[in-house]
């Protein structure tokens, strides 16, 4: 089985000119830079534009998985709830899972780690700027477990993320403690010579 057996994949909207923010615009446009690298979307950074009628067919929906088509990291995010009518620029692919068989968060987790990440890194083409073709993305091997097991694995991922956050805070605290202890010797020396 492959990704295209569980999802619809489309490229973002291709603008003829550079995207310029129009405060009176009727739609938000997400670009690769609006994906924050941690799985979230910076909606506040998205430009507003006026779209011609033909651009209105592919509004983003809750549960869409977005992935950058260019760059070494293939940044991705899951659309939670768009704050209004929104589309993607052509530097993003919109992956719309059949949510009766594949949870968007599970797909994103799969693509961020393990075999999914390895496949995306290998499928990227280009010597200077890596580029992911839609056909390569569609061919990504995927055999998701039943929905309930997907939920269990997502719960495990959340626990691991929380644990890593605690470890990061602990490391920072220990580094600050060491720095303070090392500084005590300097302070004592300054007092003695002051």
Phi and psi (nearest 5°) for 71?
Answer: 110, 160
For residues 160 and 155, what is the distance between their CA atoms, to the nearest angstrom? 9
149-168 as b/e, with b when 16 or more CB fall inside 10 Å? Answer: ebeebeeebeeeeeeeeeee
> Helices then strands (H, E): number in the chain?
4, 7
Two tokens, residue 136: 């390569």
HSE-up of residue 157 (Cα within 13 Å, Cβ side): 15
> Per-residue pLDDT for the chain (194 aa), expressed as one digit of tens each?
999 999 999 998 888 888 888 888 888 999 999 998 788 899 998 999 988 765 566 899 999 999 998 876 778 999 998 898 999 999 999 999 999 999 999 999 999 988 898 999 888 887 677 789 999 999 999 999 999 999 999 999 889 988 998 999 999 999 999 988 888 766 666 666 66
């Amino acid at each position: 089985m492959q990704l295209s057996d569980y999802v619809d994949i489309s490229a973002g909207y291709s603008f003829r000119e550079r995207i310029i923010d129009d405060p009176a615009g009727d739609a938000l446009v997400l670009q690769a830079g609006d994906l924050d690298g941690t799985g979230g979307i910076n909606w506040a950074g998205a430009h507003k534009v006026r779209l011609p009628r033909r651009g209105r067919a592919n509004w983003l929906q809750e549960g869409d998985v977005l992935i950058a088509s260019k760059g070494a990291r293939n940044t991705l995010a899951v659309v939670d709830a768009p704050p209004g009518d929104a589309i993607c620029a052509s530097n993003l692919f919109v992956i719309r899972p059949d949510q009766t068989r594949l949870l968007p968060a599970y797909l994103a987790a799969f693509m961020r780690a393990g075999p999914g990440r390895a496949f995306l890194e290998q499928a990227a083409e280009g010597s200077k700027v890596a580029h992911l073709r839609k056909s390569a993305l569609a061919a990504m091997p995927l055999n998701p477990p039943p929905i309930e097991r997907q939920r269990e694995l997502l719960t495990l991922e959340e626990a691991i993320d929380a644990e890593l956050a605690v470890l990061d805070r602990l490391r920072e605290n220990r580094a600050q403690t060491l720095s303070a202890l090392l500084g005590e010797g300097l302070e004592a020396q300054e007092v003695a010579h002051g």
